[in-house]
Structure 1
């Protein structure tokens, strides 16, 4: 059963296509987007390898990362993506978000993340969703808190990241907390 596409008021959440690759590598190369991500640059070859890896990947396969393309309905622009890591035998998931700088601070990430969280808890019956965030990434910290995530840990200088020691926050949200919120 294919889950995608999913829709929200302003967005279409779907699988990536070949057509997305220029925009995908474009926003991943924006310094303000890559600042807190594991990459510093993202080539056309990186984008092609990504698509090949994602092409046959099943959504909700344990021990995999699945990237969901987030497209604006109004103009079919690729606004960003939501990454979902499935683990713990299918009982838990981890989230990540990456959005084009021109599509930030407009509620798109909030709208997309809310839809994905609903899918994970309501349709796929996940027990817990987690996220790990660079402690300086205030935008994503606010995004997660807005969705009801609570900070469970502050790891001090736990990762050598882009030439310096960095702190990370660990966030989590339980299914019953999502329902109550």
Structure 2
């Protein structure tokens, strides 16, 4: 297990730990109902965003089971979203990846590019064996990212919980370290693509 040097750079992005100076950027999407539509929380107040930022700033690398690493996604010096790596199980070497972008930056491949970097951190730096991702089954842009990453849909949970007042559905995707490394030359962003 080796902590990476920050920022982690991709073709167009830089991923780095959040700082308290990122409050306005973070609040720019955490305060939006359209962004939170598929998330477990509602649009946040500035104070609630500040509370979530404290958690993000406090962890710069997941060292133990249960740790959640949130990295700011920068494009040309502007924070446009976040990428998340959850350390689910140390013994089973399992993790979970996630991503949120401000809607002004949707549709340009940034979520995929950031997620490629985070999957690399999970497999190459944290030594994970399997990484999952999940989303609301009705959040097609999110599950399309998972498919572009080479993740396979392993589950479709129908009516698995009451989500924001109605029965929710969830897709679960996963990829193994051996699959990730095998597709190194064909994944999005490989070889400058």
Into which bin does the TM-score normalised by the smaller protein fall? over 0.9
User: What per-residue deviation string (whole Å, max 9, x for no partner) do you get for residues 10-45 of structure 1?
Assistant: 111001111211111111222221110111111211
Select the residue among 124, 132, 135 that pairs with 2:134.
132
Using the alignment, how far apart are the partners of 2:57 and 2:117 within structure 1? 22
Report how many residues are paired.
179
Question: Unpaired runs of 5+ in structure 2?
Answer: 184-193
TM score, norm. by length of structure 1? 0.93
Retained in 2: the 8 A contact 1:128–1:174?
A: yes
User: How far apart are the structure 1 equivalents of 2:132 and 2:107?
Assistant: 22
Q: Does 1:71 align with 2:94?
A: no
Correspondence for 1:146 among 143, 148, 152? 148
2:158 and 2:169 in contact (8 A); partners too: yes
Structure 1 unaligned regions, length at least 5: none
Partner of 1:112: 114
Aligned counterparts, 1:31-180, within 5 A: 31-61=33-63, 62-72=65-75, 74=76, 76-89=77-90, 91-180=93-182
- TM-score where L is the length of structure 2: 0.87
Structure 1 SS opposite 2:18: coil
Distance 1:77 1:26 in 2: 12
Query: RMSD of aligned C-alpha atoms?
Result: 1.4
What's the CA shift for 1:179?
1.4
Whole-Å separation in 1 of the counterparts to 2:119 and 2:97? 9
